[in-house]
């Protein structure tokens, strides 16, 4: 009798079906990792549409997905030059204060450029009509810029985030994870999870400074989102609606920190085609990483 009831119940269940996915990627190294995921999703039957600006660098066409582009007020050379300059700055050996100021300036310029990309998309009536009529099931996006999440909120779609991390730990705060500056090293501080008292003070002051610097960097996106969604929105509030956070990192490379259940670590996606690591050091040897075009040191970018 029980077996008959279970069989009847199973017959009423619908089989798993592939969905229609709207993808809003981030340019540069972020895209190369995301493309590996899209390849697997395509194999599983999902219909994928990638939306990108006409001024793109690495985002390319593929049989795995449909690529749709929209016009933006920037030239391709500007984007390439800026991303190259930013990658050089990340590995700079300059003093901390100099590195901090230069990095902030790069982020400010990045914010202005990607804000222009986002604004061009949100106020493109043809693209917005296409998205509305396509009836997507979810948005897959890199939250380094919140444009994908703004679209998700506008069309009431669930969001899957794909990221390494966001400046000022906005991703941590948006997911409501604990983030004590006395224990969790701030980005670019080069502190470890075993900090001296002086390093903890430095870490705490850096956490305070992040609030002001990131307010200026991300304020254009907050203004854009507030105007487009017609209600006041902060960067943290925008990203707090994400359903799943796929983080391209691992505690092998990062120090342990508190995380929420919807945060999933997929650090191995950065090195899809693996090569043996150097036995000289337990940490990733920089020379080998630079030689390995697949790994590309994207852990840090």
At 87 the pLDDT is: 66
> Cβ distance 142 to 163 under 8 Å?
yes
Is 28 exposed, middle or buried, given 0-12, 13-18 or 19+ CB atoms closer than 10 A? buried
Per-residue pLDDT of the chain (301 residues; tens, 9 = 90+): 544 434 444 444 444 567 899 999 988 778 888 998 999 999 999 999 999 999 888 899 999 999 999 999 877 676 667 666 766 666 667 776 777 777 777 777 777 888 999 999 999 999 999 999 999 999 999 998 899 999 999 999 999 999 988 878 888 889 988 888 878 787 667 777 788 888 888 888 888 877 777 787 888 999 999 999 999 999 999 999 999 999 988 777 777 778 889 999 887 776 656 666 666 544 443 333 333 333 333 333 3
Alpha-carbon gap, residue 161 to 166, rounded angstroms: 11
Predicted TM-score (pTM) of this structure: 0.78
At 83 the pLDDT is: 67
At 19 the pLDDT is: 87
* 109-to-10, 104, 105, 114, 216 alpha-carbon distances in Å: 55, 9, 6, 9, 11
The model's pLDDT over 202-254, given as tens digits with 9 standing for 90+, comes to 888 888 877 777 787 888 999 999 999 999 999 999 999 999 999 988 777 77
At 287 the pLDDT is: 36
Q: Which helix (H) or strand (E) holds 23?
A: strand 20-24
Residue 230 φ/ψ region, left for φ over 0, alpha for ψ in the -120 to 50 degree band, beta for the rest: left
Structural domains of the chain, ranges and CATH numbers in brackets: 18-300 (3.40.50.2000)
Alpha-carbon gap, residue 174 to 240, rounded angstroms: 4
At 235 the pLDDT is: 93
Nearest Cα to Cα of residue 134 among 151, 118, 150: 151
Backbone angles phi, psi at 75, to 5 degrees: -95, 155
């Amino acid at each position: 009798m029980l077996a008959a009831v279970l069989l009847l119940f199973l017959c009423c269940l619908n089989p798993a079906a592939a969905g229609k996915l709207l993808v809003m990627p981030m340019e540069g190294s972020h895209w190369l990792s995301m493309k590996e995921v899209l390849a697997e999703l395509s194999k599983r039957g999902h219909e994928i549409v990638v939306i990108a600006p006409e001024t793109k660098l690495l985002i390319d066409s593929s049989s795995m997905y449909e690529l749709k582009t929209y016009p933006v007020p920037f030239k391709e050379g500007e984007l390439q030059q800026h991303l190259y300059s930013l990658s050089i700055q990340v590995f700079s050996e300059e003093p901390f204060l100099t590195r901090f100021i230069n990095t902030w300036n790069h982020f400010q310029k990045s914010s202005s450029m990607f804000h222009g990309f986002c604004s061009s998309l949100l106020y493109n009536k043809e693209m917005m009509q296409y998205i509305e009529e396509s009836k997507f099931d979810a948005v897959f996006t890199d939250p380094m810029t919140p444009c994908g999440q703004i679209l998700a909120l506008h069309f009431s779609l669930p969001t899957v985030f794909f990221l390494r991390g966001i400046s000022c730990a906005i991703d941590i705060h948006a997911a409501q994870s604990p983030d004590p500056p006395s224990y969790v090293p701030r980005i670019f501080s080069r502190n470890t999870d075993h900090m001296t008292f002086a390093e903890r003070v430095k870490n705490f002051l850096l956490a305070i400074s992040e609030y002001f610097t990131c307010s200026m960097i991300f304020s254009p996106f907050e203004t854009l989102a507030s105007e487009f969604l017609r209600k006041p929105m902060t960067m943290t509030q925008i990203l707090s609606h994400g359903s799943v956070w796929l983080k391209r990192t691992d505690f092998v490379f990062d120090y342990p920190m508190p995380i929420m259940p919807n945060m999933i670590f997929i650090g191995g996606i950065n090195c899809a085609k693996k090569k043996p690591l150097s036995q000289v050091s337990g940490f990733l040897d920089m020379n080998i990483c630079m030689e390995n075009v697949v790994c590309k040191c994207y852990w840090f970018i």
